[in-house]
Amino acid sequence: MNIKDLEVIDNCDEVDFEEVNHILNFYGLSDLDTPTQEKVFRNSYVTVFLRYEDKIVGVGRAISDGITHASIYNIAVRDEYRGQGIGKVIIDEILKRVKGCTVTLYTHPRHIGLYEHWGFRRMKTSYAIFHNEGYYEKQGFIE
């Protein structure tokens, strides 16, 4: 795969959400049904989908006020396409669309280090009220 051949799509009307949901469910990043997943993306300020040879190979989204703050969620790359730079393209395409904003995210403990590699700084003062707190405790997001 050549990264230059990736098609960047930011319009929800142009993608099949069965495909999007399949990628997110595969990693356990979501257990939503497809219509609900579609609503989640449509309600987001930025959506990015990368298509390669008629297949969605990467997805991501950000919620934002469009001026001051944005938060990134649901970054995922189709398994057989990981490690080829697609994740970085998704992040860069999202960042372009929230230029000027402070951008935050939290990641699964297994990806600690990845976002520093991509230029994010570790935060010392973040707090969250998690829906389904037990899951996040078990997975090591919180103590």
Ligand X SMILES: CC(C)(COP(=O)(O)OP(=O)(O)OC[C@H]1O[C@@H](n2cnc3c(N)ncnc32)[C@H](O)[C@@H]1OP(=O)(O)O)[C@@H](O)C(=O)NCCC(=O)NCCS
Q: Which residues bind ligand X (CB under 6 A)?
A: 27, 29, 75-77, 82-88, 107-108, 111, 113-114, 117
**Minimum CB distance to ligand X, residue 18 (Å):** 18
Collect all residues with Cβ–Cβ distance below 8 Å to 63 and sequence separation of at least 6: 43, 44, 45, 70, 71, 73
Residues facing 48 on adjacent strands: 60
Look up residue 42 and give its DSSP letter: H
**Minimum CB distance to ligand X, residue 2 (Å):** 14
Nearer to ligand X, 34 or 84 (CB): 84
Nearer to ligand X, 33 or 80 (CB): 80
**Minimum CB distance to ligand X, residue 34 (Å):** 18
Taking CB positions, which residue lies at the least distance from ligand X? 87
Round to whole Å and give the CA distance between 75 and 29.
Answer: 9
Contact 62, 97 (CB under 8 A): yes
**Minimum CB distance to ligand X, residue 15 (Å):** 17
